[in-house]
Amino acid sequence: METITDIKGTFRLHNGIDMPYFGLGVYLSDNDREVVNAIQWALDTGYRHIDTASIYKNEEGVGKAIRQSNVSREEIFVVSKVWNSDQGYESTLKAFDKSLERLQLDYLDLYLIHWPVEGKYIETWKALEKLYKDGRIKAIGVSNFMQHHLEDLIENSEIIPMVNQMEFHPYLVQQDLIDFCNKHKIRYEAWSPMMQGKIFKLSILDNLAKKYNKTVAQIVLRWNLQKGVITIPKSAKKERIISNADLFNFELSQEDVTYIDSLDRNQRTGPDPDNFNF
C-alpha cells in the first residue's frame, strides 16, 4: 500500500522523480481569468501539480498563473501533452517547443502522448525520449494507452513510460491494465475521476459519504489515492478546488475500497482508446 500523507505528498516514478499524487486538471477551463484563478486557488490550497495539454488551448493562462503565484516554479509539477495532429518525430519536437513557449517555461516536469495514434505513436515516443535525454522534460509518459499499445511501445523503444494517464472512476476500473502498469513500474493516473460529473447523480456512494462524513467526490478521490492512482480532478470553482483536496484526514477501509472496485462496469464517459478518430 502507498503512503498517503498530505496534499503535497508524492508517488515516485521509476526514474526517481517524485510526482505529486494529487493535482488540478484544467480541461475546459478558458485561457484567461478562469484558468488563472483556478490555479491560484489550487496553489493557495497546497496543490503542487497542474495538468494541461496543447489541445486544451489554455497553456498561456497556465503559465501566467504559475508566474503570478508566490510558489516557486521548482515546487510546481507541470504536465502537458502532445496532440494527435502533431504526432510524429519532428512535429512532436516542434509541438513541445510551442507548448513551452506558450507556458513560458524552461522545462516540463512531465510530457505525455495524448492518444495512441496508430502508426505514429512510436515515432512520437522517440521524440519524447530525445527531449527527456536533453533534460528538457523531467519525466515522459502516455495517456489513453491500453495494454497492447504499451506492449508495442515497450518493445520498440528504449525508455518505458513513467506514467499512463487513463479514464478512471468507479464505473471504469480496468484492474488488469492497472496491474500491467504496476508490473512495469508505470504509474497509473486518473483523468475524469468524477465521470465528468456523472458520479454525483449516482446514489451508490451516498452510504459511504455518510459513513465517513465526506462528500462523494472526496470518497472517490481518496479511493484513487489508496489504489496508488495519481488523480487530477478538474474544477474552476474555488469551493470545489478546496473541498476536493480535503482527503487527508480519513482513510477508506480495505472493504470499502473493494466495494468501490466492485462497481466497475467497464463503462466509459470519454472516447475509447481502441476506437477514436480525432
Domain ranges of the chain: 10-261
% of the chain with per-residue pLDDT over 90: 96
Taking the mean position of all CA atoms in its chain, how far away is CA 118? Answer: 22
pLDDT value of residue 196: 93
Does 204 or 159 have the greater pLDDT score?
159
Tell me which of 6-15, 104-113, 197-206 is least confident: 197-206
Residues 182-201, buried b or exposed e (16+ Cβ, 10 A)? eeeebbbbbbbbbbeeebee
- The bridge status of strand 77-82 relative to strand 10-12 is unpaired
Of 80, 68, 69, nearest to 26 by C-alpha is 80
Quick: pLDDT tens for 39-82.
Answer: 999 999 999 999 999 999 999 999 999 999 999 999 999 999 99
Of 129, 141, 123, 136, nearest to 86 by C-alpha is 123
Helix (H) / strand (E) element for 277: namely none
Angle value at C-alpha 153, between 174 and 3, nearest 5 degrees = 50
| pLDDT averaged over every residue in the chain | 97
Can you tell me which residue has the cell 526517481?
A: 16
Average pLDDT over residues 190-215: 94
Does 139 or 31 have the greater pLDDT score?
139
Of 238, 237, 195, 236, nearest to 217 by C-alpha is 195
Of 104, 101, 92, nearest to 67 by C-alpha is 104
pLDDT value of residue 172: 98
* 31: pLDDT strictly greater than 90: no
* 157: pLDDT strictly greater than 80: yes
E strand segments, the chain: 10-12, 18-20, 24-25, 49-51, 77-82, 108-113, 137-143, 163-167, 187-191, 230-231
Of 213, 215, 210, 222, nearest to 247 by C-alpha is 222
Annotation says 56 is catalytic: yes
**pLDDT level of residue 29 (50, 70, 90 thresholds):** confident
Q: Which fold has domain 10-261?
A: TIM Barrel (3.20.20)
pLDDT value of residue 1: 67
Cell numbers standing for residue 154: 515497450
- The bridge status of strand 10-12 relative to strand 18-20 is antiparallel
Quick: pLDDT tens for 164-174.
Answer: 999 999 999 99
Of 85, 16, 17, 13, nearest to 53 by C-alpha is 85
Q: For residue 275, which phi and psi values (nearest 5 degrees)?
A: -155, 75
Catalytic residue among 21, 27, 47, 56: 56
Quick: pLDDT tens for 83-117.
Answer: 999 999 999 999 999 999 999 999 999 999 999 99
Distances from the Cα of 185 to the Cα of 68, 142, 194, 273, angstroms: 35, 13, 25, 21
Contact 36, 61 (CB under 8 A): yes
Helix (H) / strand (E) element for 61: namely helix 59-68
